[in-house]
């Protein structure tokens, strides 16, 4: 596991510097973050408060009627610990109103709708609060495609996207996030009893090691198997990365003109900033 | 006089904003002058920022550009090494660095090795330089090698044989990996190895000016430093923060290092050339 350890203090400095620098150069001074009560959004909120000051962070709690009371209690604990502003917007009325039209919808559709409902609220309130939306997706879930496109994957800037889940845990511990939040089972809390690891079929500890070898250290599959991992598992991980590649890219644009956005019209996002 | 107060400008330029970056150069120069420096070295592409992509053609400057006149004027008060996208008369664009002194361009180095792998894309946008030359600066016989140039020891060998006492290396190095092992990026630790090794192997000063700041999420790590010909660092800037790093260099140290370690005297250019030619002719064994 040595490959996944993290010099937490240095990482913390880089990430809070990233938030301060990338937010301010766009002319903003605030961020808004959807706080679920889980570890990832807690860490984003902590880093945001460190980078910009607690008064410049707004946390939105957006529970659905089935969301666990523990999630809400943990989100409120983070708000209190950090002294950041917060607001609570119950998404039950809008989500239920929509699914009256589709009573047969399964839990995946419902879960995705909730994630996208929260996204529209975050971006709307961000305009009112004059803030950028701070992302909460970590590298593990981005690579596995374990997130809702245009839902929880949507943000303006994301400090966690290059940290594996196990590194998020380490950094969260270092930065002083309450133990109860770090130790609980990761869950999207999109339906009762959902847990990430049950849904994925493996633990973050296991998959992060494979992802680290495959992505960061450029091991080919036979090399990873030789390092002691089950071949079926490794192939399943690769299949998840491959099948979710579309989620990590802009929509495909049919090329017609001499210069097409992101193909041969290539500018950095920080253009002039 | 063999002693010189020099300064490295560990700055955070604005991507694609020449006007704001010239102002930052002027402000940095005022600070360096105020602190008694006679030479101020800016990082790679200090006038433009680094990950330019298609902005490159919009920020390219001919050497006759009026914008450079402002830096030429400044060079009456302090010698400057500045980084820019240089547009040649044939409209080729180079990642270049200028040595400015007393209102003149004393030296132009066009980056020879353009990294095009991983996060780098330079060959897509820029033309390759083809010269490695030393030049006479007030601090001593100098060479400028930009960032990736330093990762090819042949460039430093050539400069050394060509009389280099001072190796000036402007850089824009984005941090990558290695946070598992300690409080630095893996490539920062690698840079710290090679700057020390070059100083020692070529018995020269190494003036390594790296930038800070973020561009599209990539973090430039800073850590600029001055290494003496003994291989010992004599000044080092913090990681991640803007700073004008001051140091005193003394070319008598180059002489002393070469008395102790006469490596340059013993260099066998004839063997090197002959064997290189053989490999070029016959291929590696």
**Residue A78: which domain range?**
2-185
- Per residue, the 3-state secondary structure of chain B, as one string, reads CCEEEEEEEECCCCCCCHHHHHHHHHHHHHHHHHCCCCEEECCCCCCCCCCCHHHHHHHCECCCCHHHHHHHHHCCCCEEEEEEEEECCCCCEEEEEEEEECCEEEEEEECCCCCCCCCCCHHHHCECCCCCCEEEECCEEEEECCHHHHHCHHHHHHHHHCCCCEEEEEECCECCCCCCCCCCCHHHHHHHHHHHHHHHHCCCEEEEEECEEEECCEEEEECCEEECCCCCEEEECCECCCEEEEEEEEHHHHHHHHHHCCHHHHCCHHHHHHHHHHHHHHCCC
Contact criterion met (CB < 8 Å) for B14 and A216:
no
| B183 → chain A, closest CA residue | A10
Kindly state whether residue A152 falls inside one of the protein's structural domains.
yes
Main-chain dihedrals φ then ψ at residue A239, nearest 5 degrees: -60, -40
Q: Which of B55, B183, B217 lies nearest to residue A10, judging by beta carbons?
A: B183
Judge whether residue A107 has pLDDT over 60: yes
Main-chain dihedrals φ then ψ at residue A158, nearest 5 degrees: -130, 110
The pLDDT of residue A1 is: 45
Predicted confidence (pLDDT) per residue in B206-244, tens digit: 999 999 999 999 999 999 999 999 999 999 999 999 999
Question: Quick one: pLDDT band at residue B180, thresholds 50, 70, 90?
Answer: confident
Number of domains within chain A: 1
Kindly state whether residue A109 falls inside one of the protein's structural domains.
yes
Predicted confidence (pLDDT) per residue in A225-253, tens digit: 999 999 999 999 999 999 999 999 999 99
| A270 → chain B, closest CA residue | B216
Within 8 A of A218 by CB-CB distance, chain B residues are none
Task: Please give the average per-residue pLDDT across A28-42, as a whole number.
Answer: 98
Predicted confidence (pLDDT) per residue in A201-215, tens digit: 999 999 999 999 999
Number of domains within chain B: 1
CATH code where residue B73 lies: 3.60.110.10
Contact criterion met (CB < 8 Å) for A265 and B54:
yes
Predicted confidence (pLDDT) per residue in B200-209, tens digit: 999 999 999 9
Under 8 Å CB pairs connecting chains A and B tally to 66
The pLDDT of residue B1 is: 67
The pLDDT of residue A67 is: 94
% of residues, chain A, pLDDT over 90: 94
* Continuous segment of H or E residues that includes residue A54: none
Within 8 A of A266 by CB-CB distance, chain B residues are 53-54
Estimate to the nearest angstrom the gap between the alpha carbon of A142 and the chain centroid.
8
Task: Please give the average per-residue pLDDT across B72-91, as a whole number.
Answer: 98
Task: Please give the average per-residue pLDDT across B123-146, as a whole number.
Answer: 98
CATH code where residue A68 lies: 3.40.50.620
Kindly state whether residue A42 falls inside one of the protein's structural domains.
yes
Judge whether residue A2 has pLDDT over 90: no
Task: Please give the average per-residue pLDDT across B180-199, as a whole number.
Answer: 93
Nearest partner of A66 among A194, A179, A246, A234, judged by Cα: A194
Contact criterion met (CB < 8 Å) for B16 and A14:
no
The average confidence (pLDDT) of chain B is 97
| Calpha distance B108→B76 (Å, rounded) | 18
Judge whether residue B74 has pLDDT over 60: yes
Predicted confidence (pLDDT) per residue in A78-103, tens digit: 999 999 999 999 999 999 999 999 99
**Residue B136: which domain range?**
3-282
Kindly state whether residue A117 falls inside one of the protein's structural domains.
yes
The pLDDT of residue B182 is: 78
Question: Quick one: pLDDT band at residue B103, thresholds 50, 70, 90?
Answer: very high
More confident residue, A191 or A42: A42
The A-side interface with B (CB below 8 A) comprises: 2-7, 9-11, 13-14, 17-18, 21-22, 25, 157, 216, 265-273
The pLDDT of residue A3 is: 65
Within 8 A of B17 by CB-CB distance, chain A residues are 272-273
Task: Please give the average per-residue pLDDT across A159-184, as a whole number.
Answer: 96
% of residues, chain A, pLDDT over 70: 99
Predicted confidence (pLDDT) per residue in A122-158, tens digit: 999 999 999 999 999 999 999 999 999 999 999 999 9
Task: Please give the average per-residue pLDDT across B173-193, as a whole number.
Answer: 91
């Amino acid at each position: 596991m040595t490959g996944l350890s993290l010099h937490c203090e240095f990482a913390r400095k880089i990430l809070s510097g990233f938030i301060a620098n990338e937010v301010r150069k766009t002319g903003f001074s605030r961020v808004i973050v959807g706080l679920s009560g889980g570890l990832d959004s807690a860490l984003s909120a902590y880093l945001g408060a460190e980078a910009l000051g607690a008064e410049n962070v707004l946390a939105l709690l957006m529970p659905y009627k089935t969301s666990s009371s523990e999630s809400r209690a943990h989100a409120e604990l983070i708000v209190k610990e950090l002294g950041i502003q917060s607001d609570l917007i119950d998404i039950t009325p809008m989500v239920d109103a929509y699914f009256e039209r589709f009573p047969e919808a399964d839990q995946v559709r419902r879960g995705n709708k909730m994630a996208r409902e929260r996204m529209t609220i975050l971006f709307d309130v961000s305009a009112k609060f004059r803030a950028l939306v701070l992302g909460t997706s970590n590298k593990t879930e981005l690579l596995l495609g374990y997130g809702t496109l245009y839902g929880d994957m949507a943000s303006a800037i994301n400090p966690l996207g290059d940290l594996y889940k196990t590194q998020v845990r380490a950094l969260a511990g270092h930065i002083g996030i309450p133990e109860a939040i770090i130790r609980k089972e990761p869950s999207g809390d999109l339906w009762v009893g959902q847990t990430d690891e049950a849904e994925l079929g493996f633990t973050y500890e296991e998959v992060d090691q494979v992802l680290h070898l495959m992505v960061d250290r450029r091991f080919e599959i036979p090399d990873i198997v030789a390092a002691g991992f089950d071949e079926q598992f490794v192939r399943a991980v690769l299949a998840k990365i491959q099948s979710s590649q579309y989620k990590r890219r802009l929509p495909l644009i049919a090329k017609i003109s001499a210069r097409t956005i992101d193909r041969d019209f290539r500018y950095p996002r920080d253009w002039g900033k | 006089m063999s002693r010189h107060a020099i300064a490295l400008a560990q700055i955070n330029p604005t991507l694609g904003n020449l006007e704001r970056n010239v102002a930052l150069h002027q402000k940095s120069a005022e600070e360096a002058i105020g602190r008694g420096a006679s030479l101020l070295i800016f990082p790679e592409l200090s006038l433009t920022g680094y990950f330019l992509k298609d902005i490159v053609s919009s920020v390219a400057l001919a050497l006759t550009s009026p914008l450079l006149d402002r830096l030429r004027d400044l060079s009456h008060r302090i010698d400057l090494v500045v980084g820019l996208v240089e547009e040649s008369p044939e409209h080729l664009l180079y990642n270049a660095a200028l040595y400015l002194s007393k209102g003149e361009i004393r030296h132009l180095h066009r980056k020879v090795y353009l990294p095009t792998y991983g996060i780098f894309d330079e060959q897509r946008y820029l033309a390759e330089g083809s010269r490695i030359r030393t030049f006479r600066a007030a601090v001593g016989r100098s060479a400028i090698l930009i960032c990736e140039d330093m990762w090819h020891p042949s460039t430093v060998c050539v400069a050394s044989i060509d009389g280099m006492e001072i190796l000036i290396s402007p850089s824009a190095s984005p941090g990558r990996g290695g946070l598992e092992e300690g409080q630095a990026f893996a490539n920062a630790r690698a840079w710290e190895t090679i700057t020390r090794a070059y100083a020692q192997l070529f018995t020269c000063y190494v003036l390594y000016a790296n930038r800070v700041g973020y561009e599209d999420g990539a973090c430039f790590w800073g850590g600029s430093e001055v290494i003496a010909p003994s291989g010992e660092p004599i000044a080092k800037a913090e990681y991640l923060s803007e700073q004008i790093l001051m140091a005193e260099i003394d070319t008598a140290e180059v002489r002393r290092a070469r008395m102790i370690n006469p490596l340059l005297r013993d260099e066998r250019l004839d063997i090197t050339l002959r064997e290189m030619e053989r490999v070029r002719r016959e291929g590696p064994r």
